[in-house]
Amino acid sequence: MLFPRKIASSVTVFLLSAIIGHSALAAEADKFDVVGLSLGMTTEEAMQALRDFGVMEESISETRLSFFYTDGLKNDYRTEEFLYRVSAGKKPIINGMKRHEDGIVLYFSPPPEGGRLVGIERNLINRIDPVTGAQFKEAVFDKYGAPTDENGRAFNWKFGGGDKNCLSTSLDKTGVVLPEGGKSNKSILDMVYKKTSGQYRLDLFRVSRIKSLEECANMLEFTIPGDTQPADRVRATMIDIQSWVRAELAAGEEVARLQKEAIEKREGKGKKPTL
């Protein structure tokens, strides 16, 4: 009778630890946002946050994508369109030849597990009245705390469970870029995994020190000019690698299922030849 009770006690401790751990991760992730935009937001939440930030309605531009598949003969089957990318900006301030611009680009994960904000990029250009790099850096540190890694110009925070940069081989562990998507058909999978014979190798990462997707951290990275230089061009990039990769893999499985159904349907209509 003691053995089952011991098992039950261990399970209780494990569940409690898991709950505490999940709460800690959620609390940590909650402090990371870019002008009110947080990873994991739905498309509706993200669009509202954009408008709350004050972007011009007429500046909002949406990119929608579809996945194509074939039945072996017909090659123009496609999934329903989904929202992949949104760009928007505040109204520029112009003073003679100088400009102050503030633009945002958002990336959303694909269905069937998608519709969530997985990538954010903010580009701030201020040629009118920029503070120094040191002043801008101080404001960033006041909001997010000390960075996990830095190299003097790039300041990188890692959070969300993993603790490694799965996108860059840089020894200083900085370097965050987002997929180009519709521009060159480059996906998050191309940035994380290597390919063999045109197929992604899910056990072979482009960054060789990575052995498992669970090691990949969510990241926020600011690129800021040097301390004594004007902070006239600042970029902030935030990404949820694990969620993005899993959504892309799930989308690939769904497209494969649809293609299999299309092939079976075509083959079912065929007739045996008369010989």
Q: Is residue 273 one of the residues assigned to a domain?
A: no
Calpha distance 152→28 (Å, rounded): 24
Q: Is residue 141 one of the residues assigned to a domain?
A: yes
Predicted pLDDT of residue 266: 84
Tens of pLDDT, residue by residue over 1-21, are: 333 333 333 333 433 444 444
Q: Is residue 2 one of the residues assigned to a domain?
A: no
Contact 242, 216 (CB under 8 A): yes
Of the pLDDT bands very low, low, confident and very high (cuts 50, 70, 90), residue 270 is low
Q: Total structural domains in the chain?
A: 1
Contact 156, 219 (CB under 8 A): yes
pTM to 2 decimals?
Answer: 0.85
Mean pLDDT to the nearest integer, 239-246? 98
Calpha distance 251→114 (Å, rounded): 9
Tens of pLDDT, residue by residue over 256-267, are: 999 999 998 888
Residue 180 has pLDDT above 90, yes or no: no
DSSP string across 83-96: EEEEEEEPPPEEET
Tens of pLDDT, residue by residue over 59-75, are: 999 999 999 999 888 88
Calpha distance 14→4 (Å, rounded): 15
Q: Is residue 244 one of the residues assigned to a domain?
A: yes
Helix (H/G/I), strand (E/B), else coil: 14 = helix
Residue 199 has pLDDT above 60, yes or no: yes
Range(s) of the domain holding residue 259: 29-159+222-268
Contact 90, 56 (CB under 8 A): yes
What number of other Cβ atoms are within 10 A of residue 113's Cβ?
A: 16
Q: Is residue 195 one of the residues assigned to a domain?
A: no
Q: Is residue 101 one of the residues assigned to a domain?
A: yes
Contact 233, 225 (CB under 8 A): yes
Q: Is residue 40 one of the residues assigned to a domain?
A: yes
Residue 219 has pLDDT above 50, yes or no: yes
Calpha distance 40→169 (Å, rounded): 26
Q: What is the dihedral of CA 235, 188, 83, 110, to 10 degrees?
A: -140
Residue 163 has pLDDT above 90, yes or no: yes
Q: Is residue 166 one of the residues assigned to a domain?
A: no
Tens of pLDDT, residue by residue over 96-151, are: 999 999 999 999 999 998 899 999 999 999 999 999 999 999 999 999 999 999 99
